[in-house]
Amino acid sequence: MEIKLDSVKGIGPSMLRILRNQGIWSTYDLVLNYPKRYEDFSITSLDRTQDKEIITTHATIFTDLKINRFGKTQMVSFKAKILNQIIDVVAFGKGYLIKSFSKDEEVIIKGTYHLFKRQINASAVIKVDKKIPMKPIYGIDGIHDKTMMNVMEEIFSSNQVSIYETIPKEYLEKYKLLNRLEAYKMLHLPKSIQEIQQAERRFKYEEAFYLQLKLQSQKQINHLRPPKSYDIEKVRSLISTIPFELTTDQKESVNDIFRDFKKNHASYRLIQGDVGSGKTMVALIATYAVITAGEQVSLMAPTELLANQHYQYFKNLLKDVNIALLTSKTKNKNQLKEDVTNQKIDLLIGTHALIENDVQFKNLGLVIIDEQHKFGVNTRDELILKSSSKDVIYLTATPIPRTLAMIAFGDSHVSIIKEKPKHRILIETKYITKDRIQEMYDLMHSAILRKEHIFLVVPAITSEHVTDNIETVYEEIKEEFGSHVFVLHGKLPYEEKELVMEKFIYTPGSILLSTTMIEVGIDIPTATFIGIYAAESFGLSQLHQLRGRVGRGSLPSFCYLISQKEDVERLELLSKTNDGFQLSEYDLIARGPGDFLGVEQSGYLKFNFLDLITDYPVLIEAQKNVQELLSKPDFKTNSAYKYLNKYILESLKI
């Protein structure tokens, strides 16, 4: 039962009007409007903190304090623990801190946070007085924080709000979590920092629990099937013909897949391979195994160019397999579809054309989806439904932070390929500002003389907000390099895009000026140089993906990051590491999780308390709990069900 605000002592007409304008109509709504911060605590974690933002946070000194001198200035440095993260802290001109603080002491640190250095330049370090109650800061215009505190005290002391429990009792007891009512009370009327942390601990678990419930309820049910009877000797014979030795990560990924095949139910697996790590070879070995078991395989790619490249790759290595390509340009489609239905085709590679109703497989035993986040959920599901066994392998070269991958797919369903094949070379990466563009031009001239291919990438076709776009950069490049400059962007007709790519590939010593269309699916061994304009406009993972378009062969390769704005810390990080997974962790902080899992619009990855990086153990525990709960035969009669049904199951259609 909801209690109206106008029945609460202390809420007059003026305050009532302000709250209703904020969408707050009941005491329950008001309790859910928890404080934005406490006293001087502007944040409680670093997961949503932007680069160079001024912050104030509670911390524990993790190491001894050290002092160095720069000329006449003293610099004190130490490491601090902030909610399970270890951050470097430096303070200039504050030599007195050495005598004032020591290791393991709790402090409040105020200063500028440098995201990519993981460092705070402290302007103040002060002691924490645990005896002083925490003052909630609500930040509602027209309502004093003290007034809000008085109203909250009235609501809780006179039991004017109904707070239902949403977590099964067994998990509250197992993890010693506060009940929901007590947790909200501690958020609004805390007596200490510890009470705030206890409340946040409870809500972190609650958010993790419902995230897992939503994700797992949307997964396909494990379909029973007999273990796949693949011919291991034929698979070994294929591996022996591969012109290079598989990396350790590739071998482990292959073993993961084969363990899945031996189970008595369908499996799904994410093969996450950094740019150039060889994930396609892993998919090829899995494909061949399924075909030796007498079943068909389908491979869906997001673009015709990538589908065509997969077709050529698989044809070259699987000589005795019947392989077909289905795209909008395929001729004799009716005959091809008939051959698929009669299982005259072992492997069908294509784009979303694979989901058409008249594409019917006789015995589809494995679905492979490349760059799965490029497809909508419905598109992926339509192809999976054509499979008799429902076994699925998702491939992605987009480095998803490990935490996110485990959340979405489950710990036992993710294989990560980080190790690069020995024949892959490192790409020399350099950050420059636009005034040094001639330095890049000189390298490009040399590459053209060697008949190598060059990519130039811009963020837009034309834009008032981005100075470097297709129109402006084309004029600059045409003036500097003359002919052999090709242009590719999304507004060109499909046939023209194909023609442009074909001309570029078959014109040695040419330049392709493009938008991010080349992010995936371009594999040209003679592409040795990529210049990315307005690099500050892109996320680190996307820049890393674009960089991966060069260095595909044995030739020395270069990536230049050009920026109109000063973006030194972030872009130099890219020039120092070739590890896409490390870069993805920074992107997770800067851009949020939706970008990686393709669920930006879903809303259920927006958290108030949960930190997807530091709260990984909480997520894994919640994942186990939800799996346990959903697997119970008496789930709908379980005491937890009434809460779950009331708050979430109806919307999830479980």
- CA–CA–CA angle 301, 303, 309 (5° rounding): 70
The pLDDT value recorded for residue 528 is: 94
Spans of all domains in the chain: 40-127, 267-417, 427-577
Tokens standing for residue 102:
């020591």
The pLDDT value recorded for residue 43 is: 54
Right CATH for 427-577 from 3.30.450.40, 3.30.1360.30, 2.102.10.10, 3.40.50.300: 3.40.50.300
**Cβ atoms of 582 and 116 closer than 8 Å:** no
Inter-axis angle of helices 180-188 and 193-217, to 10 degrees? 130
The pLDDT value recorded for residue 601 is: 36
The pLDDT value recorded for residue 538 is: 84
CA distance 430 to 356: 45
For the chain, report the end-to-end CA distance as a whole number of angstroms.
Answer: 26
CA distance 189 to 195: 9
pTM of the model: 0.63
* CB-based burial, 78-107: b 16+ in 10 Å, e otherwise: bbbebbeeebbbbbeebeebeeebeeeeeb
- Work out the average pLDDT over 526-531: 94
| pLDDT for residue 603 is more than 50 | no
CA distance 218 to 588: 23
| pLDDT for residue 23 is more than 80 | yes
Right CATH for 40-127 from 3.30.1540.10, 2.40.30.40, 2.60.120.260, 2.40.50.140: 2.40.50.140
Fold: same for 267-417 and 427-577: yes
Sequence-ordered list of residues with C-beta below 8 angstroms from that of 111, at least 6 positions apart, any chain: 54, 55, 89, 91, 120, 121, 122, 123, 124
Q: How confident is the model at residue 476 (pLDDT cuts 50, 70, 90)?
A: very high
| pLDDT for residue 448 is more than 60 | yes
The pLDDT value recorded for residue 591 is: 56
Instruction: Specify the higher pLDDT residue, 140 or 224.
Output: 140
| pLDDT for residue 292 is more than 60 | yes
Fold of 267-417: Rossmann fold (3.40.50)
